[in-house]
């Protein structure tokens, strides 16, 4: 049956691969090509300028700032989001106390309700989430400062998005809030497929919740966690960080460039400053960062696969 | 993905995990937001040579518009709406009965039109405005626009003995120029910038609008006693501060200080007038006269706080009347004033104000019916169309006059009075249309915004801003302009 196997596979893959090449690979090649030109994006004329855009990028303070922020997003957000999501998912699915006549492995009381609550932000578009939080962060009449006043902390009235030391964290918190639910559901699905006997065995051996989590759940869930990690990192480098930064810190990328990220900078250069070629150059840098991130995570996360 | 031993065993592992892995791989490739850029990649379209032939030049048709050729008009659908333009289109269609004008209004000027510029098939007339405005400097630099001089030299719509040029408000023609004589842009609206306040609130303090900075501080102190902040501004967009700060600099140090700043001359920002004005504004912060939390407010939030009477003054433009119409109370008695100066030693008199064109209209170089686009503008610059605009959207137009016989709203009336008072003392700083990023992000957010939030002293702010200006002067990826 091995004979002609590859021809068979190629036959099936030709169309999707063709589409992939046309709509994914080709734009990449084009972008890289444009990064060597002085194309403005506003007229069809351009000429080749060699590595000018790249040397300019290396001298560009705002580029370095945006790179720094993007890296912070890519490193910190997955850690926080995935840890939180793992904790929540564990408590919902496995962490409950054994109730009389109930199943051995169960979540905390009311877990199905929590599942919905956690997932809820996922239903809202990220643009709406960002807008809602932009209102909540309003230092004058926003929900957060009003709450602080309400509980007697009238002297603590941070400027939130108006403070360069706080703005980036405020934006990150929103991303965590809005994405954690997705991973709770994802990890819940993963945990559901772990055989209950494993937990029963662990419990019989006297394992507590912490041990169960680190010795049973996490190892068996590792593949999912790792995929989630890469996925979250890419979200943090790409679309989601763009949306929150663009909407919440409005335009220039926060006070004193404190929240500028690479995708936002690409957008501004291409669609505000009429420097599409330079924008593609930053896009190429973003591609490199994204690929490097994925490679590092894959490398660090490599471990023996457990079969069950 | 490297972590697992590639093969799937049986059916068990195929579902969930592989799906996730595949979607992650897809995301990996597609998320870097580059592909969308190439979607509008240039196809290098040439002039297809199907431009409309010139029509017959007559007294009623001085631009020789072809009376059978179609005309396409794309309008920015923003604060002024689209009705005024639709009305003007109707007149065009009445004058050229064989033509149906293709009119559309959008907020997405750039995403709609950038690809068409790249293909060489732009419409004939564009209102290039709003958040998605296309960079004029680039359009001019890449020869994408039609010189509007023929329009300006054509007889005006109302009076054949007067050129269109002579019916416009001061500064409009110059604003459309970049370097040299050619006029690339016609600004249709006319904006008055300055300090906006409620006459009623000022009356309740028993005060007049302050003409010197000492008086300003006294008024703010009085307001503070009544639990009202002196000032607020769009903290997240601190580039609203210049609307009153720049004309103040001009008033204190003379026009040439502003011109030097626009020309990116070395040490332009180190002029003593700039320093004095920065220190004056910083004092507002130091003395606690700025509404608490202002650096975290955006323009709508700060305007709302101001309309609610939490702050007395706000630097803004004449669009604020329309934009904040639903939060400004009926008895607010909106007024605008030219900025307060320092003292009697100022170079220019009190009343020196910043006023300039808004809503930039352009005719692309590759337009099929450029004459038609210009004719449409000529119609819009008639007295009747101008009045129609002012009556509908509470804003002046580039047409000088056209306010008689229509009832003016309080803010508009006060704006007209401020312009009368200013006379020739109208200044027009150009940083915001010549160097968008420098003005908004660097000077605005990173300089003035930080200073007014108390995180920079005036001396530090000036040093930082001068550094930004020097950088922009050296940067050859942006086109540089000079006052003529």
Q: What is the pLDDT along chain B (484 residues), one digit of tens a residue?
A: 333 333 344 344 444 445 445 544 444 444 444 444 444 444 444 444 578 888 888 888 999 999 889 999 999 987 788 999 999 999 999 999 999 999 999 988 888 998 899 888 999 999 998 877 888 878 888 889 999 999 999 999 999 999 999 999 988 998 898 878 899 999 999 999 999 999 999 999 999 999 999 999 999 999 999 999 999 999 888 999 999 999 999 999 999 999 999 999 999 999 999 999 999 999 999 999 999 989 988 888 899 999 999 999 999 998 888 888 889 999 999 999 999 999 999 999 999 999 999 899 999 999 999 999 999 999 999 999 999 999 888 889 999 888 877 888 999 999 999 999 998 899 999 998 888 889 988 999 889 999 999 999 999 999 999 999 999 999 887 888 888 7
Whether the CB-CB separation of B155 and B57 falls below 8 Å is answered with no
Tokens linked to B433:
């249309």
* Residue B266 C-alpha, separation from nearest chain A C-alpha, in angstroms: 21
Contact assignment for B455 to A164 by CB distance below 8 Å: yes
Do the first three CATH levels of B71-189+356-416 and B192-354+426-474 match, i.e. the same topology?
yes
Q: Is A215 on the interface with B (CB under 8 A)?
A: no
Q: Which helix (H) or strand (E) holds B414?
A: helix B410-422
Q: Is A15 on the interface with B (CB under 8 A)?
A: no
Q: Cβ-count burial of B245 within 10 angstroms (0-12 exposed, 13-18 middle, 19+ buried)?
A: buried
- Chain B residues touching A145 at Cβ < 8 A: 293
Provide the residue ranges of all domains of chain B, joining segments of one domain with +.
71-189+356-416, 192-354+426-474
Model confidence pLDDT, tens digit, residues A94-143: 877 666 666 667 777 777 788 888 888 888 888 899 889 988 998 878 89
Distant-in-sequence, close-in-space partners of B215: CB < 8 Å, separation ≥ 6: B340
Closest by CA to B127, choosing from B93, B76, B58, is B76
Contact assignment for B138 to A40 by CB distance below 8 Å: yes
Q: Is B135 on the interface with A (CB under 8 A)?
A: yes
| Chain A contacts in chain B segment 376-395 (CB below 8 A) | none
Q: Which helix (H) or strand (E) holds B357?
A: strand B353-362
- Chain B residues touching A239 at Cβ < 8 A: 31, 33
Please name each of the domains of chain A with its CATH number: 1-26 (no CATH), 55-301 (1.10.3720.10)
Tokens linked to A33:
């090509």
Whether the CB-CB separation of A255 and B449 falls below 8 Å is answered with yes
Nearest CB to A138: which of B20, B297, B444? B297
Q: Which residue of B has its CA nearest to A190?
A: B16
Task: Please give the model's pTM, rounded to 2 decimal places.
Answer: 0.79
Q: What share of chain B is helix, strand, coil (3-state, %, to 5)?
A: 45, 15, 45
Whether the CB-CB separation of B59 and B76 falls below 8 Å is answered with no
Question: Would the CA dihedral through B172, B178, B183, B187 be positive or negative?
Answer: negative
Using CA atoms, how far apart are residues B248 and B274, in angstroms rounded to an integer?
9
Domain B192-354+426-474 falls in which CATH fold?
Answer: D-Maltodextrin-Binding Protein; domain 2 (3.40.190)
Q: Is A122 on the interface with B (CB under 8 A)?
A: no
Contact assignment for B31 to A234 by CB distance below 8 Å: yes
Nearest CB to B295: which of A44, A159, A231? A159
* Residue A101 C-alpha, separation from nearest chain B C-alpha, in angstroms: 30
Whether the CB-CB separation of B280 and B342 falls below 8 Å is answered with yes
- Chain B residues touching A55 at Cβ < 8 A: none
ipTM of the complex: 0.72
Whether the CB-CB separation of A252 and B440 falls below 8 Å is answered with yes
Range of lowest pLDDT (A170-174, A213-217, B68-72, B260-264): A213-217
Nearest CB to A276: which of B35, B37, B295? B37
Nearest CB to B32: which of A139, A249, A290? A290
The CATH superfamily assigned to B71-189+356-416 is: Periplasmic binding protein-like II (3.40.190.10)
């Amino acid at each position: 049956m091995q004979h002609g196997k590859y021809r068979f596979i190629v036959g099936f893959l030709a169309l999707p691969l063709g589409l992939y090449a046309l709509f994914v690979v080709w734009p990449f090649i084009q972008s890289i090509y444009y990064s060597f030109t002085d194309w403005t994006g506003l007229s069809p004329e351009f000429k080749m300028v060699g590595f000018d855009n790249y040397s300019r990028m290396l001298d560009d303070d705002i580029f370095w700032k945006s790179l720094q922020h993007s890296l912070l997003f890519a490193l910190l957000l997955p850690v926080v989001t995935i840890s939180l999501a793992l904790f929540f998912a564990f408590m919902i699915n496995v962490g409950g106390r054994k109730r009389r006549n109930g199943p051995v492995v169960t979540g905390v009381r009311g877990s199905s309700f929590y599942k919905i609550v956690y997932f809820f932000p996922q239903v809202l578009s990220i643009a709406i989430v960002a807008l809602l939080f932009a209102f909540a962060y309003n230092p004058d009449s926003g929900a957060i400062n009003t709450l602080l006043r309400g509980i007697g902390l009238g002297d603590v009235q941070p400027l939130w998005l108006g403070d360069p030391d706080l703005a980036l964290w405020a934006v990150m918190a929103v991303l965590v809030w809005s994405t954690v639910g997705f991973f709770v559901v994802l990890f819940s699905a993963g945990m559901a497929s772990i055989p209950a006997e494993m937990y029963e065995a662990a419990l019989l051996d006297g394992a507590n919740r912490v041990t169960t989590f680190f010795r049973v759940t996490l190892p068996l869930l590792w593949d999912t966690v790792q995929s989630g990690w890469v996925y979250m990192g890419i979200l943090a480098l790409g679309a989601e960080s763009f949306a929150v930064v663009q909407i919440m810190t409005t335009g220039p990328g926060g006070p004193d460039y404190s929240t500028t990220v690479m995708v936002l900078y690409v957008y501004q250069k291409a669609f505000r400053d009429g420097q599409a070629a330079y924008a593609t150059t930053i896009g190429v840098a973003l591609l490199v960062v994204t690929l490097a991130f994925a490679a590092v995570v894959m490398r660090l996360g490599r471990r023996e696969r457990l079969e069950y | 993905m490297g972590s697992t031993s590639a093969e799937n065993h049986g059916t068990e592992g195929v579902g969930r995990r592989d799906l996730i892995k595949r979607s992650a791989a897809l995301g990996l490739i597609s998320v870097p937001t580059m592909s969308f850029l190439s979607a509008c990649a240039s196809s290098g379209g040439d002039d297809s040579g199907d431009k409309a032939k010139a029509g017959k030049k007559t007294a009623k048709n001085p631009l020789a518009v072809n009376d059978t050729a179609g005309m396409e008009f794309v309008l920015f659908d923003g604060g002024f709406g689209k009705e005024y333009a639709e009305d003007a289109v109707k007149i065009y269609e009445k004058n050229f009965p064989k033509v149906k004008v293709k009119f559309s209004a959008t907020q997405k000027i750039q995403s709609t039109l950038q690809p068409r510029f790249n293909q060489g098939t732009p419409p004939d007339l564009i209102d290039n405005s709003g958040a998605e405005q296309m960079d004029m400097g680039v359009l001019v630099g890449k020869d994408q626009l039609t010189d509007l001089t023929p329009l300006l030299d054509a007889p005006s719509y109302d009076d054949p003995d007067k050129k269109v040029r002579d019916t416009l408000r001061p500064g409009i023609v110059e604003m459309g120029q970049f370097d040299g004589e050619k006029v690339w842009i016609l600004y249709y609206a006319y904006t008055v910038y300055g300090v906006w306040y409620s006459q009623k609130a000022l009356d309740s303090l028993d005060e007049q609008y302050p003409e010197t900075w000492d008086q300003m501080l006294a008024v703010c102190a009085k307001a503070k006693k009544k639990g009202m902040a002196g000032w607020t501004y769009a903290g997240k967009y601190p580039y609203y501060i210049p609307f009153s700060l720049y004309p103040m600099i001009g008033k204190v140090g003379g026009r040439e200080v502003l011109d030097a700043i626009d020309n990116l001359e070395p040490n332009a920002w180190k002029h003593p007038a700039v320093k004095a004005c920065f220190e004056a504004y910083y004092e507002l912060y130091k003395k606690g006269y700025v509404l608490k939390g202002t650096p975290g407010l955006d323009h709508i939030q700060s305007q709302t706080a101001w309309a609610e009477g939490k702050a007395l003054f706000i630097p803004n433009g004449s669009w604020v009347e329309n934009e904040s119409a639903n939060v400004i109370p009926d008895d607010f008695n909106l007024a605008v004033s030219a900025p307060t100066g320092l003292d009697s030693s100022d170079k220019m008199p009190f009343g020196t104000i910043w006023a300039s064109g808004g809503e930039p209209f352009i005719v692309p170089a590759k337009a099929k019916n450029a004459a038609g686009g210009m004719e449409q503008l000529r119609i819009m610059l008639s007295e009747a169309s101008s009045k129609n605009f002012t009556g509908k959207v509470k804003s002046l137009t580039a047409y000088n006059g056209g306010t008689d016989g229509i009832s003016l709203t309080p803010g508009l009336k006060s704006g007209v009075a401020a312009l009368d008072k200013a006379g020739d003392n109208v200044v027009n700083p150009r940083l915001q249309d010549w160097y968008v990023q420098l003005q908004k992000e660097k000077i605005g957010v990173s300089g003035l915004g930080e200073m007014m939030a108390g995180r920079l002293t005036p001396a530090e702010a000036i040093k930082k801003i001068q550094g930004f200006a020097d950088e922009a002067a050296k940067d050859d990826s942006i086109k540089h302009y000079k006052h003529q």
